Amino acid sequence: MIFDRTLLLSNAQAVTATAPSTDNLDLGVTGTVYGASAALVRDIGKGQEIPLSVQVVEAFNNLTSLTVTLQTDDNTGFTSPRDVQSSTLLLADLQPGAPSTMVRVPPGTKERYVRLLYTVTGTAPTAGRITAGVVAGVQTAGVAF
């Protein structure tokens, strides 16, 4: 997996309670085509797939499951986040080296800012870290997604 620091959402982030990723991506302001009256509508998942990797880098304990949700919003405070995609993993699957929980940024990702939200179900973990972000490609190693 090749991560670019500017496209990371979590860098070995400890997840011990429900929380957003430590970083978010600013996709910038959309431009207005010459002669148009309004700015273009963004849809970063349209056309070419954008690989996204969510990797466990330290095993989790205690919790029942962890839900990872890709969110977008028009402001950095995420006051009105829109859930775009989510994936739930059970404790047994939250081990280093497990396949990535998300494979691509889906169509419909339209707002300026992007982050992940980690939702803990069950007892709060005291161990468990995640590295996540947009990557050059996702290695599947024969795993069917």
46 to 11, 20, 24: CA distances (angstroms): 27, 25, 20
As for how many domains the chain has, the answer is 1
pTM over 0.85: yes
What's the CATH code of the domain at 99? 2.60.120.1110
Residue 144 has pLDDT above 70, yes or no: no
* Cα dihedral 101, 103, 109, 115 sign: positive
Cα 110 from Cα 141, distance rounded (Å): 31
Residue 99 or residue 19, greater confidence: 19
Which structural domain range is residue 14 located in? 3-27+40-135
pLDDT tens column, 90-130: 999 999 988 777 767 887 788 899 999 999 999 999 999 99
